Structure 1
Amino acid sequence: MLPVNEAERIILDLVQVLDAEKNSEIVNLENAQGRILAKTVKGKLDFPHWDNSAMDGYAVSYADVKDCSEASPITLKVVTEIAAGDRPKTKIKPGQAARIFTGAMLPEGADAIVIQENTIREGDQVTILAAPHPQEFVRHQGAFYQAGTPLLEAGVNLVAPEIAVLATAQCTQLSVYRRPRVAILSTGDELVTPEQTLLPGQIVDSNQYALASFVANNGGIPVKLGIVPDQPEILKNAIAEAIESVDVVLSTGGVSVGDYDYVDRILAELGGTLHIRSVAVKPGKPLTVATFANHNCLYFGIPGNPVSALVSCWRFVQPALKKLSGNNNYQPHFVKAITRHDLKAGGKRETYLWGQLHLVDGEYEFTLAGGSHSSGNLINLAQTNGLAIIPVGQKLIAEGEEARVMLID
């Protein structure tokens, strides 16, 4: 069995990022959510686009008001009013001011903003009760971004903040990586679909649905191949078809040491190189990772138990899929958290216990999911957002102690 970190290193070394020239497409900004930039974006506009006010108040010449105070106020004549979206038509001369609102363009001759709380307005006169600092509350053109410089780098995942930046910069056509295609197949004569009547001894194939959701949430296109029976030739044909048409294959079941576990042998018959056969992790010890000389496809054979399947995906498949997709931020994320329950393990394998991570008064706390932590118990996996890790050689992390927790996206 390989240590977890060694298995992760091998997998990520095997992943070849999609070629940005051959595997990209142009999308409109409206369709860019969740996509990965294939080319660095450079904007054509400064931001702010022009000098503007950061507050409601009065645009003034600093030289006019620099010495004023509540004890020694200065009165200026208000010669214009500028709302957001207006283009100023009046130049501010000595002894004058402009009523201005947040976001409005600064008029010529003004170089500071006096907030309205520090003024008294009477007709077309405004009395300044406190001197602003030089350039106070003025957002200068290009202070946040200069046109022609990199705005967003290739490899960035486009979500709400990035979409807002691109919209502001009027970058509406974007080069993004294509979505990797991921085949999902479930092996086992005992499996039935959720629509079928469940007979004694049968098991509902939840993995097909869980993994399709997992793939879609991580930027891939799930290709559901359904249930494949424990018949070597049928399974071999299904795997052969999959590795020719997708970037990644996820098969569940058939990778342990049972009489009906054929996957590793079939992969070898298809010319596959098996890089990983098992990992010192619980749950999810049986893990097959293979590549093929004639196919640019990465194969993951993961356990059939539904919890083991998802833990394997979160720990090993997710970073691989993100890296393949061109996402720069592909490494798993870990935090330190105070556990609110005893965390127990056998000590021989790195153990992952699922539960909920909360931020309480600036510190993370981990609450263990209730019920049995069996790889066959899918029920208490609901609402999981973190996996607490018990290292090899350790059997207990006591309540109140600090634990390392992997975040689940």
Structure 2
Amino acid sequence: MLSVGDTEKIILNLVQPLDYTEVVDLLAATGRVLASSVTSNLDFPHWDNSAMDGYAVRYEDVKHSSAENPSVLEIVEEIPAGYQPQFTIQSGQAARIFTGAVMPKGADTVVMQEKTHSEENRIFILAAPKPQEFVRHKAAFYQAGAQLLPAGIVLNAPEIAVLAALQCSQLSVYRRPRVAILSTGDELVTPDQVLEAGQIVDSNQYALAALVKQSGAEPLLLGIVRDNPVALAETIAHAIASADIVISSGGVSVGDYDYVDKILESLGAKIHARAVAMRPGKPLTVASFPNHDLGDGEKTQHSGLYFGLPGNPAAVLVTFWRFVQPAIKKLSGLAESGEVKFIKVRSHDELRSDGKREIYVWGKLQLIDGVYEFHKAGGSHSSGNLINLAQTNALAVLPVGKTLVSPTQEVEVLQVGN
């Protein structure tokens, strides 16, 4: 039985980022991983501009201004946003200017309008500004030619805004990893079927599809496969030929109907893990197909990866969060993918373990009086209890040898659900 840490290292060593890219429109790029770094031939700001509604002036003309002894300047121009100034500001002159508008030549400072008083074409400066106050200088935010966005980042709203400002209407992103999902078991039915005695709904297919989407990959749903070795072998072979990663749930323990490992070996897979010292999630198969061919013209540079997850719902979610999600993120080209990172927080509840395996307890991170606390989900923490997994956003981890975490003590937590 492998340790959790060794299993994680094996998986991440097996994964090589995809080198397949595609060009998408900017509006279709949200959530995608940028494949090439981005530079621009534009400075940001594009020109010196005002950060405030007020008056563009020469600092030397107003540096001694006060309410008792205001500086009086002639207003020679009004400059709204989008207007090109026509005058050069001379000594004793000012221009009315609005936020975002181009600074006129000769002016080096903006006095906010609240510190002024106007009469006809004259402006009275009632307080001395700081030199260059409220002026946003050309290239102060970004200088043309420098790297602006690096490859390997997820494109979210801030990055989309930057790309729009660059006038970048199309861009290169990595192809989304394709993840095939199948469930095994004679007892399984779909949500729209009538339940008979001994049957259960295949919730794992739906949970895994949601998790795969949240991880930035494309789920390929292959449905329920009965405990029939021939049918299972055909489905797994099809899944391997269709996807970068295959996930099955059930059929990886040591029962008479657990066929997955034998089928994988018959299909030429190399099995790297069969069991992990954790709870929930002990029965876990990790396999690779070195001669992976998607059959769609792509010449793969990476092994196809197979995860045989346990059948119990809690074990499926925990093993996905712990092992599969990091693999998908690395495969997708994310620059910061890698080992799972934990944070230390205060435990609200007592957490217990027998110390023999690494234990994962699901619950919620909550902000209490400015401090994050882990709150254990109520009810049974059986791996078959799907109900109290709802609203889980964190897993508390008790390592091997740790038998007790008392309330208010620190515990390592893995944030999940994002």
Amino acid at match of 1:96: Q
- 1:251 and 2:248 matched: yes
**SS state of the match for residue 41, structure 2?**
coil
Instruction: Tell me the alpha carbon deviations over residues 162-220 of structure 1, each in whole angstroms, 9 at most, x when there is no partner.
Output: 11111111111100001111100001111000011100100100111111111111111
User: Separation in 1 of the partners of 2:387 and 2:85?
Assistant: 63
Look up the match of 2:406. Answer: 398
User: Separation in 2 of the partners of 1:2 and 1:161?
Assistant: 41
Look up the match of 1:351. Answer: 359
Question: Structure 2: 5+ residue runs without aligned partners?
Answer: 293-302
Query: Which of the residues 359, 362, 367 maps onto 2:375?
Result: 367
- 1:18 and 2:26 matched: no
User: Separation in 1 of the partners of 2:241 and 2:170?
Assistant: 32
Amino acid at match of 2:99: T
Look up the match of 2:297. Answer: none
User: Separation in 2 of the partners of 1:189 and 1:162?
Assistant: 47
Q: CA offset at residue 9 of structure 1?
A: 1.1
> For residues 134-173 of structure 1, what are the structure 2 equivalents within 5 Å?
134-173=131-170
Q: CA offset at residue 69 of structure 1?
A: 2.9
Look up the match of 2:36. Answer: 39
Retained in 2: the 8 A contact 1:336–1:364? no
Retained in 1: the 8 A contact 2:290–2:304? no
TM-score of the two chains, using structure 2 as the length reference = 0.94
**SS state of the match for residue 239, structure 1?**
helix
Q: CA offset at residue 121 of structure 1?
A: 2.3
- 1:379 and 2:376 matched: no
Retained in 2: the 8 A contact 1:288–1:301? yes
User: Separation in 2 of the partners of 1:375 and 1:358?
Assistant: 23
Retained in 2: the 8 A contact 1:341–1:368? yes
Look up the match of 1:2. Answer: 2
Retained in 2: the 8 A contact 1:43–1:171? no
Look up the match of 1:328. Answer: 335
- 1:306 and 2:303 matched: no
RMSD (Å) for aligned C-alpha atoms: 1.3
> For residues 204-353 of structure 1, what are the structure 2 equivalents within 5 Å?
204-295=201-292, 296-331=303-338, 332-353=340-361
Instruction: Tell me the alpha carbon deviations over residues 349-394 of structure 1, each in whole angstroms, 9 at most, x when there is no partner.
Output: 1111111112345432221111111111111111111111112111
Amino acid at match of 2:110: I
Task: Tell which deviates more after alignment, 9-18 or 388-397.
Answer: 388-397
Amino acid at match of 2:9: R
Question: Structure 1: 5+ residue runs without aligned partners?
Answer: none
Identity over aligned pairs, percent:
62
Instruction: Tell me the alpha carbon deviations over residues 206-242 of structure 1, each in whole angstroms, 9 at most, x when there is no partner.
Output: 1111111111111111110000111111111111111
Retained in 2: the 8 A contact 1:78–1:98? yes
What is the count of residue pairs matched by the alignment? 406
Q: CA offset at residue 264 of structure 1?
A: 0.9
**SS state of the match for residue 160, structure 2?**
helix
Moved over 4 A (4+): none
- 1:67 and 2:64 matched: yes
TM-score of the two chains, using structure 1 as the length reference = 0.96
Retained in 2: the 8 A contact 1:358–1:364? yes
Amino acid at match of 2:251: G
User: Separation in 2 of the partners of 1:59 and 1:336?
Assistant: 51
Look up the match of 1:30. Answer: 27
